[in-house]
Amino acid sequence: MTGTQLHLFDWTTPVTEDLQVGFDASDASNLRSSLIPPTAPWGALEVDTPATGYLSVYLSEDLSKLPIRAITKPNDNKSDPNIETRTYGLFSTCERGMRAGIVNNRAQFIIFLCKKGKERVVSGFYHLAWKTEGIWHAAKRDYALAADYVHFVAEPIRVSDLPEPGKSAAERKFRLSKRVDAVETQAIVTALQSQPNALEDYLSEIDRVERFQAFHSGYRYVSWKQERPFSWEMARQYLAASNTQGEVPNQSPSGFWQCADPDCGQFVNNKSLLRSCPFCNGMGTLRVVANPDGAGLSGEINGTQNIH
C-alpha cells in the first residue's frame, strides 16, 4: 500500500466541527453536549483495519440533477442517507439488516449507489465512526450509525467505470446492500475521492427540493407531515426514545399503520414503518394495519394519499 493510499484510510482527525450542520446556534452548546457523537448515547463503532465496507442502494430524487435521496416520492419519502446529520438509520427504518451487519462485521464505510437512467452509479460514501441503539433494538438489532466524514461527488461514477476490483464487486447482482472487502472498498472510495467533495451542493439541493415540496404541500416531507429540515435538534426526540418491546415489521401489507397511543390512534399511509407518529410524534407507536377495509378505512384519510 502506498503512502497516498494509506492516507486515504487515515481518519485520525475526525471532522467533528462539520457535524454542526443543522444547528440552531443559540442552542448549539446544549445540543452538542447531549446529542452529537461522540457524546452518549453514541459510542465508538468498533472497526477492522484495513477498512471494509457495504454497498448500499438508495432511491434518488427525480426532480434533482444531483442524486440526493428521494424527497418527493408519494408515501415513500426518504430520510436516509441523512447527510444533514451525517447519520444513517437515525430517522428511518431503512436497511436495518445492513446497519446490524456493519456493526457485526466491523465495517467502516457505506458506499452509496443509485440509478441514473438505467445504470447504477456510485455517488458517495460515509466513513463511519459511531453507533447508537434504535428504538427496536430490544426486539431485533436496530442501530443508528454516524459518520465523521461524508463525501459525495458532482459526477457520480458509473459502476462499469469503477476501477477493479471495485467494478466487479459493484457489478455483481444485489438488491439493496452488499458487503465488500478491504481491497474493493479502497478501490471505490479512492475513485470517489478523485473528485472534490460536493457535499455542500448536495445539502443545498436537498434544501431546494424540500422547499419546493413545502411550497406545494405545506410540508418538506408530506408522508410524515414534517415542516422543518432535518437537524440535530430534531434528532433529540429520536435519541431520547427508549427501547420499545416487541417486533414491528418494516413494511405494512396494506400500506397503512395505526398509532397505538390511545390518545392518538391515527392512521398513517406510508410504505415503510416510521419511527415517529406524524400526528402525535410518539416514538415507536405505529402498528401494522393488515387490512385497511377491515379497519374501516376508505378513501382519503387524515389528508394522506388514497389507498392504491
Instruction: Give the shortest CB-135-to-Zn ion separation in angstroms.
Output: 14
Decide if residue 277 touches Zn ion (CB under 5 A): yes
Contacts of 56 (CB under 8 A, 6+ apart): 81, 95, 98, 110, 111, 112, 113, 176, 177
Q: Which of 182, 264, 288, 297 binds Zn ion (CB under 5 A)?
A: 264
Instruction: Give the shortest CB-24-to-Zn ion separation in angstroms.
Output: 26
Which candidate, 207, 179, 254, places its Cα nearest to that of 68?
207
Q: How many residues bind Zn ion (CB under 5 A)?
A: 7
Cβ proximity to Zn ion: between 212 and 279 the closer is 279
- Phi/psi for 102 (5° steps) reads -60, -45
DSSP structural state of residue 35: T
Instruction: Give the shortest CB-126-to-Zn ion separation in angstroms.
Output: 31
Instruction: Say how far apart CA 185 and CA 19 lie, in whole Å.
Output: 24
The owner of cell 457520480 is 156
Among left, alpha and beta (phi > 0; psi -120 to 50; other), residue 95 is left
Listed ranges 8-16, 199-207, 213-221, 275-283: which one lies at the site for Zn ion (CB under 5 A): 275-283
Q: Which of 81, 134, 282, 284 binds Zn ion (CB under 5 A)?
A: 282
Instruction: Give the shortest CB-258-to-Zn ion separation in angstroms.
Output: 9
Cβ proximity to Zn ion: between 8 and 241 the closer is 241
Cβ proximity to Zn ion: between 156 and 255 the closer is 255
Instruction: Give the shortest CB-302-to-Zn ion separation in angstroms.
Output: 11
Would you say how long the chain is, in residues? 308
Cβ proximity to Zn ion: between 232 and 238 the closer is 238
Q: How many CB atoms lie within 10 A of CB 206?
A: 22
Q: Which of 195, 279, 301, 305 binds Zn ion (CB under 5 A)?
A: 279
Q: Binding mask 224-263 vs Zn ion (x if CB under 5 A, - otherwise)? A: -----------------------------------x-x--
Instruction: Say how far apart CA 25 and CA 266 lie, in whole Å.
Output: 35
Q: Helix/strand/coil (H, E, C) string of 119-185?
A: EEEEEEEEEEEEEEECCCCCCCCCEEEEEEEEEEEEEEEEHHHCCCCHHHHHHCCCCCEEEECHHHH
Instruction: Give the shortest CB-241-to-Zn ion separation in angstroms.
Output: 13
Cell of 168: 466487479
- Please say whether the beta carbons of 93 and 272 come within 8 A: yes
Q: Binding mask 187-226 vs Zn ion (x if CB under 5 A, - otherwise)? A: ----------------------------------------
Instruction: Give the shortest CB-253-to-Zn ion separation in angstroms.
Output: 21
Interface ranges with Zn ion (CB under 5 A) = 259, 261, 264, 277, 279-280, 282
